[in-house]
Amino acid sequence: MRRPYSSRAALALWLAALLLATLTLALRGELVTDLQGFAPDPISADGVALDPGAGPAGRMLLLAIEGGDSRERAAASDALVAALKEAPEVAGIQNGRLDPDDPALDFLIEHRYLLSPRVDAEHFSEGRLREHLKDRRDDLASAVPELPRELIPRDPTAETRAVLERLAAGSGHATTGPEGVWVSPDRDRALLILRSAAEGMDLDAQAALIEHTRASFSEHADTGLRLQIAGPAVIAVESRATIRGEVTWITAGASLALAVLLLAVFRHPHPVWLAAVPLASGILIAAAVVTLVFGHLHGIALAFGITVLGIALDYPLHLFAHAQRAGGERPDGGDLSQIARELWPAIALGAGSTVLVFALMAMTGFSGMAQLGLFVLTGVAVAAVTTRWILPLLIPTRLQREGLPPLRLPLPAGLARPPAITRWGVALLALAAMVVVANTAPFPWEDRLSALHPVPEEQVALDQQLRSALGLPDVRHALLITGASPEQVLRASEALTPGLESLREAGALGGFAHAADVLPSQAVQRERQAALPEPGLLRERLEAARARLGFRDGAFEPFLRDIETARQQERLTPETLPDGPLRHALNPLLQPRDGGAGWIAWVRLQGVHDAEALARWAAAAPLAATPGFDAVGVRHIDFFRASEDLVSGFRDEALQRLALGLVAVALLLLAATRAPGRSLRILTAVGTGLLLTLAALILLGIQLSLFHLIALLLITGLCLDYAVFFSRPLRDAAARLRNLRSVSVCALSTLVVFGLLSLSSLPVLQAIGLTVVLGVVFSFLAAALLAPEVIRRDTA
Amino acid sequence: MLMAGLLLAPLAAPGDDTLGALLDALATERATTLAFEERRDDPMLEFPEIQSGSLAFEPPDTLVRKVDGPRGETVHIEGDTLTLERRGSSREIDLNEQPALATLTGLFRALLTGDRETLETDFEIDITGDMDAWTLELVPRDRALRRMVPELTLKGAGDELRELVTIEAGGHQSHMRFDPPQYTD
């Protein structure tokens, strides 16, 4: 049998579209996984991106080595530093050991008078010098000198120590063990801090780095030692891997179960694989379209989109369910193309309504939701069109001619002719559900992003343990300072110090560190230089101060030389700082703004006990009274809040769009069917299905997350489909029965897939699975019971 | 038993193991006090500084170094805590935060308890002479400590420590001479 010209054209078009989509994805496909791309506008404060992983803490990996004895652990710690410090993906790795030969240490000593917070005019008075020289004289005789004896000629006032202490305070306060490396308080573990070059939420890069770190460790460390890695990136990478693993096996299991179900129902192999064709075409083309429109495809939009596209599986099932031969004869409706043409109004109405809902979502400014909307609407449209025009052509000619065997699908008789009382039952249930939903206050929304991640408890515990052992700053709170130049934000950091100090004294926070601790502003450096006495004066004071202490003449010439050098010294700027501990400490705290003029500085906070007091203080413009800071912004940033705002923003927007969408769907139904009664039935069924699902979730005591919402979107689409089919004005009983069977097959297959999902141990998958299962049951019942009355005359 | 003895025999200390013999001789389970005189030659000072004092050990691990005179001080080390007393004020130091001090403390504890493993892990050891007149030259293995203290030399006869010379960076040098031990228990 030669296919007609139009069929060949349709096939060619379809194949060309698939090819183009594949090419688009192969050439331009970019899967983005950071949250930033999913946000309405980038989550930001004053234009500074606030990805939960982008704060100063997000790039940090905390490493712990355990097992063996303390020496072995220290050796492994040193070996790991040596192996990783030059790696391009590592911005820095520290284990607490100060390298005595590090040129950066010399740089620090050379610039100590610019960096030391103690330098002021009083600092080099004769009286103070005398006190310092007495201490140094004791150091010369002592078994336990306060300052290393070799530094005494250069640095009798111990400025080096002050600078090192200041630097160490900013980067945490870990315990150093007897072997000279950081250890946990119980000394059973050696600790290291690794900072990645990549963004904290660049999960592929983080996963590679974690892998590389483990490989280096097993290469260099003795057997018997174990490496533990913690940090926000580890948690994110692990939860992603867990989700992937579980999704993989559940998908495989669900596909298998679905195949078995379809095989059992249709009693023929072809419908099993053909059912996947519209769905697969939809996913492929939708992914390509989103990529073309947005320039990339967000991983979350893809995952959610594929979930919601589950509706697309229904279209081919409707087709097959209607294509069975009745009692060994050819189906009444003729060949499959004929059946597809007959079903098209119903499929088009259901798909069209779904497309409308998601078109409204696609038009939001919320980039992630716009992607999801476009993905689903494209996918649904493609799947519907594929079912209508392509699928009949793919079915082998013999099967076309003979039709499919009768469905093996026993259905309770009550479903075909529901007793009137059940309708009242549904109405009552819907009313009760409305009461439940309306009376639930506060609504149990779950906005914490962490609640969505399947984070293993022990991983969180390890993170907290290591974080507190290393004295690292709070991952949640920070202050953000924005200004025009590095000098301005550094001066602002200095000006904020007294305020922060009083917050600390009031117990609102445990401690703080800012960029000016590492690199003082030019103004402060200039003040310090001005405070250094000129050579003649200093020599005079020094001579007087060292009297009768037994120091040799000229013992402090190196000190006099160093002070004179410091007076003339070029002041330090962020740009001229060499690589080394100073730069490592400064970089995370002081950065030029992304893609724009201006600079930002972070204030790290430790042990925030009273976040509200902190926020109040920051909101009250603590710099307003100080002149010169008009254009400087100071903000308290709560990274968790930022991500919670993202989630709740997404949720509110999605709900709004859903409501708007249903109104639009009502208009569409009315216009398309020109039957107000049928439109009302469909809308009531959808409303009832959603309401019952929501009430059931609330009664089960479930906190509703983003994932429940995504599931509700899918249910909306499914319920639209069921209700459209159930409300078809069919006259003869056989057609009605076929119709019922068709919807039942769809509902059953969705139940199988999402039922398996609800068995998952992961909260995300469980949420989606359970919600869809509930939704399918309620939608099916609502749609079936709200179907028009059987017209007795025809069945008789 | 016999087989086991034969197998173990080659592992036993060979006869010319002076370090083993020396550590056996120095190790003590008794409270011991050594009086000393220290001479510090220091490029920062007009004259060499001469001080006298005592070094005491109390099992299992307490060390007390006492120096008399106007610049006198007492260093008391017990466990991981070092207490420095000088002119009526005292300061506590956690040895875990001072790796260099911890290693030097470990050296004396190792000598007095015969802990050869610690000694050999922390220092390169060169031993010359015989048990009647031995010289032990120690070079710290840790780079940071070696920069501060490039070399320590101990001299003695039999189970008696007679001299300790400490060379420090920057030309600082200490020379301690010990009197024969006094047992205080």
Rounded to an integer, the average pLDDT of A770-783 is 92
Q: d(Cα A287, Cα A642) in Å, to the nearest integer?
A: 29
Residues A298, A368 contacting (CB under 8 angstroms) = yes
Question: Which residue of B40, B49, B95 is in closest CB contact with A178?
Answer: B95
Give the tokens for residue A504: 């600390």
Rounded to an integer, the average pLDDT of A529-541 is 92
Q: d(Cα A169, Cα A471) in Å, to the nearest integer?
A: 9
Is A174 or A291 the better-scoring residue by pLDDT?
A: A291
Q: d(Cα A711, Cα A496) in Å, to the nearest integer?
A: 47
A117: left (phi over 0), alpha (psi -120 to 50) or beta: alpha
pLDDT over 90 (residue A49): no
Interface of A with B in 130-149 (CB under 8 A): 137-138, 140-144, 148-149
pLDDT band of A287, cuts 50, 70, 90: very high
Rounded to an integer, the average pLDDT of A162-166 is 84
Q: d(Cα A624, Cα A743) in Å, to the nearest integer?
A: 67
At A508 the pLDDT is 87
Total residues belonging to chain A:
796
- DSSP state string for A520-533: --HHHHHHHHHHSP
Instruction: Identify the top-confidence range among A123-137, A227-241, A574-588.
Output: A123-137
Residue closest to A320 by CA, chosen among A749, A3, A777, A724: A749
Rounded to an integer, the average pLDDT of A544-548 is 88
Q: Which of A43-57, A585-599, A627-641, B114-128 has the lowest mean pLDDT?
A: A43-57
Is A326 or A163 the better-scoring residue by pLDDT?
A: A163
Question: Which residue of B93, B121, B143 is in closest CB contact with A144?
Answer: B93
Q: Position of tokens 């696609």?
A: A362
Rounded to an integer, the average pLDDT of B2-14 is 41
List, for residues A393-436, the tens digit of each pLDDT value: 888 877 777 777 888 888 777 777 777 788 888 888 989 999 98
pLDDT over 70 (residue A613): yes
At A792 the pLDDT is 45
Contacts of A616 (CB under 8 A, 6+ apart): none
Rounded to an integer, the average pLDDT of A672-688 is 89
- DSSP state string for B103-162: HHHHHHHHHHHT-HHHHHHHEEEEEEEETTEEEEEEEESSHHHHHH--EEEEEEETTEEE
pLDDT more than 90, % of chain A: 27
Question: Which residue of A100, A140, A150 is in closest CB contact with B45?
Answer: A140
Rounded to an integer, the average pLDDT of B137-142 is 92
Which residue(s) pair with A636 in the sheet? Answer: A479
Give the tokens for residue B9: 């025999």
Q: Which of A202-206, A371-375, A725-729 has the lowest mean pLDDT?
A: A202-206
Any idea which fold B18-180 has?
A: outer membrane lipoprotein receptor (LolB), chain A (2.50.20)
At B5 the pLDDT is 42
Rounded to an integer, the average pLDDT of A659-666 is 88
Q: d(Cα B162, Cα B154) in Å, to the nearest integer?
A: 8
Strand duo A599-606 + B49-58: pairing: unpaired
Residue A101, min C-alpha distance to chain B (Å): 8
Contact A150 B99 (CB under 8 A): no
Rounded to an integer, the average pLDDT of A54-60 is 66
Q: Read off the amino acid at residue A269.
A: P
Is A710 or B1 the better-scoring residue by pLDDT?
A: A710
Give the tokens for residue A667: 């208009």
Question: Which residue of B42, B65, B95 is in closest CB contact with A140?
Answer: B42
Run of H or E residues at B64: strand B62-67
Give chain B's radius of gyration (CA, Å). 18
List, for residues A487-533, the tens digit of each pLDDT value: 999 999 999 999 999 999 998 888 888 889 889 999 999 999 999 99
Rounded to an integer, the average pLDDT of A713-723 is 89
Instruction: Compute CA A760 distance to the chain's CA centroid, rounded to the nearest angstrom.
Output: 21
Q: d(Cα A209, Cα A204) in Å, to the nearest integer?
A: 9
| pTM higher than 0.90 | no
Secondary structure of residue A607 in the 3-state scheme: coil
Give the tokens for residue A478: 């920070």
Sign of the Cα torsion A151, A156, A160, A165 reads positive
Secondary structure of residue B81 in the 3-state scheme: strand
Give the DSSP letter of residue A186.
T
Task: Count A/B contacts: CB-CB distance under 8 Å.
Answer: 90
Contact B84 A101 (CB under 8 A): no
Any B CB within 8 A of A175 CB: yes
pLDDT over 70 (residue A172): no
List, for residues A118-136, the tens digit of each pLDDT value: 998 889 999 999 999 999 9
At A145 the pLDDT is 87
Residues A103, A580 contacting (CB under 8 angstroms) = yes
Secondary structure of residue A369 in the 3-state scheme: helix
Contacts of A580 (CB under 8 A, 6+ apart): A102, A103, A104, A105, A107, A108
Give the tokens for residue A563: 């002070």
Contact B172 A552 (CB under 8 A): no
pLDDT band of B83, cuts 50, 70, 90: very high
Residue B176, min C-alpha distance to chain A (Å): 12
B-chain residue closest to A184, CA distance: B96
pLDDT over 80 (residue A603): yes
A-chain residue closest to B65, CA distance: A143
Burial (CB count <10 Å: 0-12, 13-18, 19+), residue A104: middle
- Backbone φ and ψ of A406, nearest 5°: -60, 145
Any B CB within 8 A of A180 CB: yes
pLDDT over 60 (residue A43): no
At B16 the pLDDT is 56
Angle at CA A457, nearest 5°, toward A454 and A460? 95
What is the pLDDT of chain A when averaged over all its residues?
83
pLDDT over 90 (residue A210): yes
Q: d(Cα A334, Cα A321) in Å, to the nearest integer?
A: 14
Instruction: Compute CA A61 distance to the chain's CA centroid, rounded to the nearest angstrom.
Output: 17
Give the DSSP letter of residue A555.
T
Residue B11, min C-alpha distance to chain A (Å): 24
At A693 the pLDDT is 94
- Show the domains of chain A with their CATH numbers: 5-35+237-450+643-795 (1.20.1640.10), 60-236+530-564 (no CATH)
Tell me what ipTM this predicted complex has: 0.86
Residues A736, A790 contacting (CB under 8 angstroms) = yes
pLDDT band of A51, cuts 50, 70, 90: low
Residues B172, A148 contacting (CB under 8 angstroms) = no
Residues A480, A488 contacting (CB under 8 angstroms) = no
At B9 the pLDDT is 40
Q: DSSP alpha helices (H): ranges in A445-485?
A: 457-469
List, for residues A292-342, the tens digit of each pLDDT value: 998 888 777 887 788 888 888 899 999 888 887 654 444 444 577 888 888
pLDDT band of A228, cuts 50, 70, 90: very high
Run of H or E residues at A235: helix A232-266
At B11 the pLDDT is 40
pLDDT band of B7, cuts 50, 70, 90: very low
At B13 the pLDDT is 42
Residues A567, A534 contacting (CB under 8 angstroms) = yes
Q: Which of A57-71, A471-485, A670-684 has the lowest mean pLDDT?
A: A471-485
Question: Which residue of A175, A180, A553 is in closest CB contact with B142?
Answer: A180
Q: d(Cα A305, Cα A371) in Å, to the nearest integer?
A: 9
| Cis upstream peptide for B60 (omega within 30°) | yes
pLDDT over 70 (residue A557): yes
At B1 the pLDDT is 40
List, for residues A216-225, the tens digit of each pLDDT value: 999 887 778 9
Buried b (16+ CB within 10 A) or exposed e, A156-168: bbbbbbbbbebbb
Any B CB within 8 A of A501 CB: no
Rounded to an integer, the average pLDDT of A143-157 is 88
Residues A639, A52 contacting (CB under 8 angstroms) = yes
pLDDT band of A455, cuts 50, 70, 90: low
Q: d(Cα A24, Cα A403) in Å, to the nearest integer?
A: 38
Burial (CB count <10 Å: 0-12, 13-18, 19+), residue A300: buried
